Structure 1
């Protein structure tokens, strides 16, 4: 694939036209071109028709791999059952695993992969590398196909802004698609905040420190995080980077520009969290294999006020969450009046990605499975099963929402155009999974200074930028 050069000005025009001003525009990401021809190893295509717009072979077997994490796999089985009902002659199989890369990566290399893969969890397949190695199907054919609910509307036009853009990875195609809107931020119990602490959600960092001080006086930590997965801290810090320095700061991170991680805005955010650590407002620990579950359980039991998390937490922590907990998410507080973006700026990307391997024996069936996943009934089922916001427009209109989802919807509405996305987190997975994770592991224990944290991330970005194997996007 090589590097992709992007004309930023043209990209912004396309983004504005598409209503995507909340997203860093990425040139070729704004649309997906036709791509990919079928290899001999794939199942023979069926005949295209109104009922079968992707030309799925009626009796071709389908294998689905689902990440067995916070969402479980019941929501996916609903779609697999839809597929079996539609293609009754086909053998369908769905497998759940916590280790997607371990289970699927060897099969990608061997050339005998599943037909559709939920590329999620702590061990995902590296999308950029898989694209470079031509191991993924370009999903443009799916995006341009008639939607399940309305044959006059393309699949791409039923999806909320950002879904297609997140899946392009700087190419002219589209190789990964998400199914849920993830809202990241500072998650908390409204009951604890308003009743136990008699406080309001902090809109400034000074107010945040005041809430933490009040909590400490009652024997409660202001914050906690999963020590085994310290990269969770990005879920609270990222929007603050944008708030403090504007979109240019996070876009510089996306494009691996020199100095991005040494910006004054980045420094101010690290300094803010350094103060939390120095004042011992942070409950540490939770270093085991299930660190995130341990952290969430401590939180729902009232040992901490705030956790950096995503909107999957409502479902993942449901077994330990008291009925009167009133789970909510808050946008990251403003640092001071010099912030470039307002309070309410939100890190809310599409999440829970799916891909169709290039050498899947039934790639057409894999895309058809996703077309069904993007039906309103499957999207609504996703919401009902896991309390997550589907990316299908209007899928949950009129439904009664649980507290966390309701809070997420309100946060998205309040943010308006001030929604930010961390493309670098998706494009350069190692930078997030390894470099940032290692930095925050030391930083949140007070074992790394602000300067050391910034220097380490700056060196990581430079290393990735020079790596000839990096599927990199450049702006001009």
Structure 2
């Protein structure tokens, strides 16, 4: 039998016996170990059926973010895992950081964490502290359905890239494949007898038609203003090219003062100045803004493809949900109308100090199998990061639209990294500046200055790890 006694369990047992005192959480923060130092389950024998060498008797602990996707898809994957391996201890929560950060600091984390939602942990900080397990071993393993194909080769574009932070290591797996854009109701556009706007002049005309009928052109969750970035970032990239977004990601001096940024900010400011934004949006949560949108009170909402499942309860049967690429500026745009932000999202990672990290890798391998990937799509109306897994499925209208919109984009895909490289900068500083502009408190030039100052402050802060596009 393999020994399951390690440094952490020795400390725990000694503390329980009163042989040593346990330091406060704050004292442990500076000495959190990484690189698997907290493992308490040794690797077992490898075989064709068990290529990673999972201990077949060891317990696995999985914690799922209980958000728009719920947790049934994970429970179903856990059932598949348990057919070959030990029991799974499952938990779900919306308070990922609140509940799990102390366990990460103490070196006693779960084996797999779905690090999602507004209370997600800062993955860049965890990586910097050596608290995340490198997933390359998983990606180079044979896939569940075809041993001649590696897991890596089954994944959608950008999935591996989204797990990297300027190095060859892959620190997380983003399981959902998300299409970001302007979500709308086909029914609402048909009632107004308008087409989806491809240029900003057309956007103004559509919003004016909605206004005449007592309907707002846009709503958004002002409580979480970074939602606007889901359309603003690709709008900037469409106007000026992907290089503009990469300069922003790289925290380059004056990146926010590019002409493409100015044009995009001025266009969005026009929505607010003309009264096309639903009153009260600055104070709404994501659910409240979605409810207003579902009630035909606004035409467009910046969102990701999780919205169909998240708002399903309040979506009218005749809504006919769809998503389009961000409306372009005009014929001078650097990239075609079809260009959009589409990338893997809904992050999972295995903590370096997990008791059963190999089991965690195997659980993710199960999730990346065709059966689990198709079940995920059926359960939550979202594409997974598994290439072709949704082919031939009868998809709901929003997801069918997202799939078609993604395929129409071809190679013209944006993958902004600011949101995950610099979470606070993206969510609070940039999101806050855009929110203030949309609420009428800043003009575009002031909002841009605020964004640039925040980016410069991040760039000059030596305590923040920096990343670069390679």
User: TM-score by structure 1 length?
Assistant: 0.90
Bigger-Rg structure (1/2): 2
The answer to whether 1:236 aligns with 2:228 is no
Tell me if the contact between 1:286 and 1:292 (Cα under 8 Å) persists in the aligned partners: no
Q: For residue 319 of structure 1, give the secondary structure of its aligned residue in structure 2.
A: helix
The answer to whether 1:372 aligns with 2:350 is no
The answer to whether 1:274 aligns with 2:259 is no
Name the structure 1 match of 2:402.
408
Name the structure 2 match of 1:226.
221
1:297 and 1:63 map into 2 onto residues whose CA distance is 35
Cα deviation 1:187-211 (Å, max 9, x = unaligned): 00001101x1000001110000001
The 1:75–1:454 alpha-carbon spacing in structure 2 relative to 1, beyond 3 Å, is same
1:440 and 1:149 map into 2 onto residues whose CA distance is 45
Using the TM superposition, give the Cα deviation of residue 285 of structure 1 relative to its aligned residue in structure 2, in angstroms: 2.3
2:82 and 2:39 map into 1 onto residues whose CA distance is 23
Cα deviation 1:133-162 (Å, max 9, x = unaligned): 000000011001111111111100110121
Tell me if the contact between 2:220 and 2:282 (Cα under 8 Å) persists in the aligned partners: no
Name the structure 1 match of 2:64.
66
The answer to whether 1:197 aligns with 2:195 is no
The 1:293–1:156 alpha-carbon spacing in structure 2 relative to 1, beyond 3 Å, is same
Q: For residue 183 of structure 2, give the secondary structure of its aligned residue in structure 1.
A: strand
Q: For residue 282 of structure 1, give the secondary structure of its aligned residue in structure 2.
A: coil
Using the TM superposition, give the Cα deviation of residue 284 of structure 1 relative to its aligned residue in structure 2, in angstroms: 3.6
Tell me if the contact between 1:253 and 1:260 (Cα under 8 Å) persists in the aligned partners: yes
Tell me if the contact between 1:241 and 1:265 (Cα under 8 Å) persists in the aligned partners: yes
Name the structure 1 match of 2:42.
44
Cα deviation 1:181-234 (Å, max 9, x = unaligned): 10111000001101x100000111000000100100100001000121111111
Name the structure 2 match of 1:182.
178
1:318 and 1:475 map into 2 onto residues whose CA distance is 37
Name the structure 1 match of 2:315.
321
Tell me if the contact between 2:38 and 2:352 (Cα under 8 Å) persists in the aligned partners: no
Q: For residue 48 of structure 1, give the secondary structure of its aligned residue in structure 2.
A: coil
Name the structure 2 match of 1:265.
260
1:253 and 1:207 map into 2 onto residues whose CA distance is 28
Using the TM superposition, give the Cα deviation of residue 333 of structure 1 relative to its aligned residue in structure 2, in angstroms: 1.5
Using the TM superposition, give the Cα deviation of residue 37 of structure 1 relative to its aligned residue in structure 2, in angstroms: 5.5
User: TM-score by structure 2 length?
Assistant: 0.91
Q: For residue 171 of structure 1, give the secondary structure of its aligned residue in structure 2.
A: coil
Work out which of the residue numbers 388, 406, 412 in structure 2 matches 1:394.
388
Name the structure 1 match of 2:115.
119
Using the TM superposition, give the Cα deviation of residue 286 of structure 1 relative to its aligned residue in structure 2, in angstroms: 5.0
1:455 and 1:165 map into 2 onto residues whose CA distance is 30
For structure 2, the residue ranges without an aligned partner over 5 or more in a row are 1-33
The farther-off stretch of 334-343 and 303-312 is 334-343
1:293 and 1:273 map into 2 onto residues whose CA distance is 22
Using the TM superposition, give the Cα deviation of residue 81 of structure 1 relative to its aligned residue in structure 2, in angstroms: 1.2
The answer to whether 1:253 aligns with 2:248 is yes
Tell me if the contact between 1:278 and 1:446 (Cα under 8 Å) persists in the aligned partners: yes
Name the structure 1 match of 2:26.
none
1:383 and 1:462 map into 2 onto residues whose CA distance is 40
Runs of 4+ in structure 1 displaced over 3 angstroms?
none
Name the structure 2 match of 1:301.
295
Using the TM superposition, give the Cα deviation of residue 440 of structure 1 relative to its aligned residue in structure 2, in angstroms: 2.2
Tell me if the contact between 1:227 and 1:284 (Cα under 8 Å) persists in the aligned partners: no
Work out which of the residue numbers 206, 213, 221 in structure 2 matches 1:211.
206
Q: For residue 57 of structure 1, give the secondary structure of its aligned residue in structure 2.
A: coil
Task: Please give the residue correspondences for 1:90-105 in structure 2 after superposition, counting only pairs within 5 Å.
Answer: 90-105=86-101
Using the TM superposition, give the Cα deviation of residue 429 of structure 1 relative to its aligned residue in structure 2, in angstroms: 0.9
The 1:237–1:142 alpha-carbon spacing in structure 2 relative to 1, beyond 3 Å, is same
Tell me if the contact between 1:274 and 1:450 (Cα under 8 Å) persists in the aligned partners: yes
Cα deviation 1:43-91 (Å, max 9, x = unaligned): 122111111111111111111010000001111111111112221xx23
Using the TM superposition, give the Cα deviation of residue 415 of structure 1 relative to its aligned residue in structure 2, in angstroms: 0.8
The farther-off stretch of 160-169 and 434-443 is 434-443
